[in-house]
Amino acid sequence: MTARTVETGLASAAVPSGGRTIRSRRVQALQLLLRTVYYVILIGASIMYAIPFLWMIRASLMSLDMFYVVPQPLVPNPPAWNNYTDVWQVGPVLWWITNSTIVSFIGVTVGTFISALVAFGFARLRFPGNRILFLIVISTMMLPQHVTIIPQVILFRELNWLDTLLPLIVPLLGGAPFYIFLLRQFFLTLPLELDEAAQIDGASRMRVFWTVIMPLSKPAVATVAVFSFISHWNDFFFPLIVLQSSERLTLAVGMRWLQAGQYEAQRLHLQMAIALIAVAPVVILFFFAQKHFIRGIALTGIKG
Amino acid sequence: MRTTRWQRWSGLLFIAPWLITFLWFTLGPFIASIFLSFTNYRFIGLPEWVGADNYVRLFTDDPKFIRSIINTLYYTAVHVPGIMVMAFFVAILLNQKVKGQPIYRTAFYLPSVTAGVATAYLWILLLQPNGLVNQFLGIVGIDGPNWLTSSTWAMPALILMSFWGLGTTMIIYLAALQGIPQHLYEAASVDGAGVIRKMWHVTVPMMTPAIFLTAVLQIIGSWQVFTQALIVTNGGPRDSTLFILLHLYRTGFEYFQMGYASAIAWVLFVIILVFTVIQFGVARRWVYYEGSAER
């Protein structure tokens, strides 16, 4: 905003003046200066934000010795590619990745579908208690997870679900309040005539949902799916509490195994290698679905 | 459209999946946790009713709990204003016609998507005595501390780390900036307002709903800091980064004092609720909603 308004502001200031050439040359010089300062700040700040990722890649390719050389080599030479083979031996990493994938996949597919179904019910169908129940959805959205966690763990123990993926999966089957809210808001923006036209043609409600509403809501559904993947993939607090055996862990929880002692740098190279493996799917997804992220956050930002 | 009785009730079928899991996994545990907070329960045997003892102990006989509240307040007081100002600044920077804007936007936003154990590991590395942070400070001529082993510097280290995750806040601001009608700036120009006055009298007032939203979200988030406190500093050194949720986790799931941990959970819940209610109460005085007559 500033630079654009600066330009227009300065330009309009320049017009009424009589000595046009001198004035406008000065203005041009000032604009150029402002533009340069702007780019220096923008590029400088962007680099500062990006560098930690480069550091992650760099450290993941350093041998352990390189951490103790003073000064540390800027570019690890030769790169310790074997970190990426060694890291698989620190624990059942393949299991961790499989478990994380299972939970994230079910969250993205079944979780998103059910959130949409429930959102459709709230947005389009009249039934007793619609408004009150939706108010409850909104309030659970703000309910912090920790308030219910202890009785939940006791419940999962009674069900014999502790140390399985079930506590992570089964609650997903009811959809997530935040996504229900988001999708409902989106469904409300679609014209009601569409539903009515389909119903006059004899379509059932389920058919209206699946063949009218869902196809029109692809962007919103995609946003929810992407958010849902990231949040399940990164989830830490809850799986940390319900999972225990090494093969049952998700990747985020399993990664803790590599942490030797509190302030030791002992396995930093392997930690970085596995951190990079954990971050990679999220980064790749982000690059493919950038639009959906930005729109989704803007959507929640404005309507939340 | 005619509504039969079946149609009237069939809507409930659509929301049934949510309703069932809500009753089972949220409402039930929610009520149970109130009860548990008045008992002594160690994950085996039966809960033993102790009245308000847990709550009394929290405030009179648990220095770690008090410490964790002070730590969280400290974090909130620096993190929330800091991240909001920085995100605002970055959003202004990005809200220009610039070539390669998506690249810059990605640089600022990516850290918030990758948040979690992986980034916590990364910051252990960056905060080493000879790590990137201190190398950078060295360029400016500052001799950086040993962040993670100093009880003075561990909390600032976590706050510094939190600033790396300004992406979500920044995107909310960016969306709000793009929603400000251009004619307001033109009108301000006609009235002779300069860049700074436009910022203060047009941009900031139009942004107040977004600023309010992020303030609420960030304060709620500050009371729920966990991953970085466990992975990067493990609450230390000497409890200097013991956050309230970490205290709850250790009490409940390492020492298995589940009644007591439920009391911690409830105090935390009430704190968050009070902060949020206060913010909504004060909001009327400073948040400007377009289209509403009041200010």
| Contact residues, B window 47-86, toward A, CB-based 8 Å cutoff | none
Residues B88-126: tens digit of each pLDDT: 999 988 888 778 888 888 889 889 888 889 999 899 889
Token pair of B37, please?
């907070």
User: Which residues of chain B have a CB within 8 Å of the CB of A286?
Assistant: 106, 110, 113
Please answer whether residues A277 and B114 qualify as being in contact, where contact means their C-beta atoms are separated by less than 8 angstroms: no
Domain assignment of residue A38, yes or no: yes
Domain assignment of residue A244, yes or no: yes
Give the pLDDT confidence score for residue B80 in this predicted structure: 95
Are A115 and A17 within one domain? Answer: no
User: Which residues of chain A have a CB within 8 Å of the CB of B14?
Assistant: 117-118, 120-121, 125, 205, 209
Vertex A190, ends A187 and A191: CA angle to 5°?
140
* Res. A198: pLDDT tops 70: yes
**Test mutation, B121, B185, B238, chain A, max A CBs within 10 A:** B121
Are A239 and A196 within one domain? Answer: yes
User: Which residues of chain A have a CB within 8 Å of the CB of B262?
Assistant: 150-151
């990747």: which residue's tokens?
A: A251
Residues in chain A: 304
Rounded to an integer, what distance in angstroms lies between the CA atom of residue A87 and that of residue A82? 8
**Which DSSP string do the residues of A114-141 spell out, in sequence order?**
HHHHHHHHHHH---TTHHHHHHHHHHHH
Give the pLDDT confidence score for residue B210 in this predicted structure: 87
* Res. A23: pLDDT tops 80: no
User: Cα Rg for chain B, rounded, in angstroms?
Assistant: 24
Closest chain B CA to residue A278: B118
Query: Are A46 and B97 in contact (CB < 8 Å)?
Result: no
CA distance A21 to chain B (A): 23
Instruction: Say what angle helices A290-303 and A218-234 make with each other, to 10 degrees.
Output: 100
Are A49 and A102 within one domain? Answer: no
User: Which residues of chain A have a CB within 8 Å of the CB of B40?
Assistant: none
Please answer whether residues B71 and B242 qualify as being in contact, where contact means their C-beta atoms are separated by less than 8 angstroms: yes
**Range in A130-134, A293-297, B48-52, B227-231 with the lowest mean pLDDT:** A293-297
Query: Which of A295 and A169 is assigned the larger pLDDT?
Result: A169
Residues A26-40: tens digit of each pLDDT: 888 888 898 889 899
Residues A136-167: tens digit of each pLDDT: 998 888 888 889 999 999 999 999 999 999 99
B211 touches chain A (CB under 8 A): no
User: Which residues of chain B have a CB within 8 Å of the CB of A47?
Assistant: 107
Give the pLDDT confidence score for residue A109 in this predicted structure: 94
Q: Name the residue facing B33 among A43, A150, A275 (closest C-beta).
A: A150
Token pair of A247, please?
């093969």
Residues A97-107: tens digit of each pLDDT: 999 999 999 99
Residue B40 pairs in a beta bridge with B48
Cβ count within 10 A of residue A114: 22
Work out whether the CA dihedral B171, B172, B175, B180 comes out positive or negative.
Answer: negative
């601001």: which residue's tokens?
A: B173
Q: Name the residue facing B126 among A52, A275, A290 (closest C-beta).
A: A52
Provide the pLDDT confidence category of residue B201 given band limits of 50, 70 and 90.
confident
State the residue range of the domain holding A45. 2-60
How far is Cα of residue A231 from the mean position of the Cα atoms in its chain?
6
Cβ count within 10 A of residue A256: 16
**For chain A, the helix, strand and coil percentages under 3-state DSSP, each to the nearest 5:** 75, 0, 25
CA distance B214 to chain A (A): 8
Domain boundaries, chain B: 59-286
* Res. B138: pLDDT tops 60: yes
Are A13 and A133 within one domain? Answer: no
Query: Which of A304 and B109 is assigned the larger pLDDT?
Result: B109
B14 touches chain A (CB under 8 A): yes
Closest Cα to residue B258, out of B78, B45, B23, B56? B45
B240 touches chain A (CB under 8 A): no
User: Which residues of chain A have a CB within 8 Å of the CB of B20?
Assistant: 174
Give the pLDDT confidence score for residue A150 in this predicted structure: 93
Q: Name the residue facing B33 among A42, A147, A230 (closest C-beta).
A: A147
Token pair of A200, please?
């006059």
User: Which residues of chain A have a CB within 8 Å of the CB of B15?
Assistant: 118, 121-122, 127, 133
Cβ count within 10 A of residue A228: 22
Token pair of A126, please?
């009249």
Residues A256-273: tens digit of each pLDDT: 877 755 444 467 788 888
Are A193 and A260 within one domain? Answer: yes
Residues B153-162: tens digit of each pLDDT: 999 999 999 9
Provide the pLDDT confidence category of residue A297 given band limits of 50, 70 and 90.
low
SS (H, E, C) chain B: CCCCHHHHHHHHHHHHHHHHHHHHHHHHHHHHHHHHCCEECCCCCCCEECCCHHHHHHHHCCHHHHHHHHHHHHHHHHHHHHHHHHHHHHHHHHCCCCCCHHHHHHHHHHHHHCCCHHHHHHHHHHCCCCCHHHHHHHHCCCCCCCHHHCCCCHHHHHHHHHHCCCHHHHHHHHHHHHCCCHHHHHHHHHCCCCHHHHHHHHHHHHHHHHHHHHHHHHHHHHCCCCHHHHHHHCCCCCCCCCCHHHHHHHHHHCCCCHHHHHHHHHHHHHHHHHHHHHHHHHHHHHCCCCCCCCC
Domain assignment of residue A70, yes or no: no
Residues B244-262: tens digit of each pLDDT: 999 999 999 999 999 999 9
Are A54 and A108 within one domain? Answer: no
Query: Which of B43 and B73 is assigned the larger pLDDT?
Result: B73
Residue type, A2: T
Ramachandran quadrant class, B45 (left: phi over 0; alpha: psi -120 to 50; beta: rest): left
Provide the pLDDT confidence category of residue A82 given band limits of 50, 70 and 90.
confident
For the whole model, what pTM was predicted? 0.86
How many independent structural domains does chain A possess? 2
Are A211 and A269 within one domain? Answer: yes
B162 touches chain A (CB under 8 A): no
Closest Cα to residue A91, out of A236, A242, A239, A249? A249
| Mean per-residue pLDDT, A13-21 | 47
Query: Are A125 and B10 in contact (CB < 8 Å)?
Result: yes
* Res. B236: pLDDT tops 70: yes
Rounded to an integer, what distance in angstroms lies between the CA atom of residue B133 and that of residue B201? 37
**Test mutation, B39, B125, B212, B224, chain A, max A CBs within 10 A:** B125
Cβ count within 10 A of residue A94: 10
Are A267 and A177 within one domain? Answer: yes
Rounded to an integer, what distance in angstroms lies between the CA atom of residue A273 and that of residue A251? 13
Q: Output the CA–CA distances (angstroms, integers) from residue A262 to A249, A292, B228, in the order listed.
A: 21, 38, 13
Considering the domain B59-286 in this protein, what is its CATH number?
1.10.3720.10
Query: Which of A304 and B65 is assigned the larger pLDDT?
Result: B65
- Mean pLDDT score across all residues of chain B: 88
CA distance B141 to chain A (A): 17
H or E element at residue A187: helix A177-188
Give the pLDDT confidence score for residue A303 in this predicted structure: 38
Q: Name the residue facing A275 among B109, B121, B248 (closest C-beta).
A: B121
Token pair of B234, please?
């493990």
Closest chain B CA to residue A7: B195
B248 touches chain A (CB under 8 A): yes
